[in-house]
Chain A
Amino acid sequence: MREYKILFTGTVGAGKTTAIGRVSDVPPVMTDVRNSDTSIAKERTTVGLDFGELTLDNGDRVRMFGTPGQERFAFLWKILVRNALGLVVLIDNSRPDPLADLALYMSGFSEALRTIPCTVGVGRMETHPVPSLDDYAQAISGTGRVFPILSVDVRNRSDVILLLDTLLMQLEADLGGENE
């Protein structure tokens, strides 16, 4: 049995806590509190971390951690990404500038992204189709990287599983490459 530590990060309100809660086999650990920032239409927000566990069909276990989204908690991003084998970045396409949001996390996790795979999940595309997935791909390639980008609704367990599968496939491919 293998264990993977996967980190969920991304925009406030993009659904990091929801995603982890949707697939976790155990009651998730959540540190959400009342939100005081009126620019965010959200009653509660994560200020510490989220945690959940998922056992895959092959017995491997995925330990999922979630970060707070706000940049003022960037000190926690650096702590939580330690020993992570992959990163899931969730973006809310209904926000004013989702590509700038993406750039924030690409920059905040730039050191980790040199060595670990990443998958980007974009939410609310059905109501906010712009920027498109191609726009995201272009923005990411501009930083010299290539990541899978998926349109997701993290309220659906299957979408979260798809994000994790995509990430784990990259991880397997990377490990395979190292072993060759």
Chain B
Amino acid sequence: MTVSHGLSKTATALAQREARKLVDELNGVTAAVIATIDGFSVASAVTGGLDPARVAAMTSSIVAISGVVSEEARLGRQKSVIVQTESGFAVFCSVYRRDVELVINVIAGESAVLALVSYRAAQLARTLADTSPFHA
């Protein structure tokens, strides 16, 4: 299997740096995975033995399924999904670039602040979209 995600080396390095910053800077965040829309990890920072490849595939599925829900409900293009659990949450964001569509998954424990993580994940999505070579 050969994966060609189409993201430049510079953009990949930026994604890697930003994923690491999210995990390092936000209290309670245990993983940040940036993946292609079809579920291949592009950049990641994970703790606690999470497998970025598995997280990437799951992120792609969740974002795709929530996308058809948004479409069915005529709510427009989906931006993010939040899964809240007994001991934390996961935030999923879509990154719309013209060269390649990406998805972000940030996973956090109960000590993390949802609003803050959600804001930073959305900010990361914007940053990655803004570095698109075709960005207007």
Instruction: Mark A residues whose CB is within 8 Å of B.
Output: 29-31, 33-39, 45, 47-49, 68, 70, 72-73, 75-76
Contact = CB atoms under 8 A, between A and B. Distances in A.
Main SS at interface, chain A: loop
Interface residues of B, number: 25
A47 B39 contact: yes
Contacts, number: 65
Nearest to A74: B57
A68 B61 contact: yes
A29 B68 contact: yes
Interface in B100-114: 100-101
B1 A73 contact: no
A48 B68 contact: yes
B2 interface: yes
27 contacts: A29-B68, A31-B65, A33-B37, A33-B60, A36-B4, A36-B6, A36-B36, A36-B40, A36-B100, A37-B3, A37-B40, A38-B3, A38-B4, A39-B1, A45-B38, A47-B57, A47-B60, A48-B62, A48-B64, A48-B65, A70-B39, A70-B57, A72-B39, A72-B54, A73-B57, A75-B57, A76-B61
A53 to B, nearest CB: 14
Given A31-B67, A75-B54, A48 B61 contact: yes
B46 interface: no
B53 interface: yes
Contact of A37 (B2, B53, B65, B72): B2
A34 B61 CA distance: 13
Interface in B65-82: 65, 67-68, 72
B58 interface: yes
Contacts of B1: 37, 39
Contacts of B61: 31, 47-48, 68, 73, 76
Contacts of A30: 68
Nearest to B72: A29
B5 interface: yes
Closest 8 CB pairs of A and B: A31-B64, A48-B64, A48-B65, A72-B57, A33-B37, A47-B60, A38-B2, A36-B36
B68 A75 contact: no
Contact of A39 (B2, B38, B65, B100): B2
Given A36-B4, A36-B40, A37-B40, 12 more contacts: A31-B64, A31-B67, A34-B101, A35-B38, A36-B3, A36-B5, A47-B37, A47-B39, A72-B54, A72-B57, A73-B57, A75-B57
B38 A47 contact: yes
Nearest to A71: B57
A38 to B, nearest CB: 5
Nearest to A33: B37
A73 B59 CA distance: 10
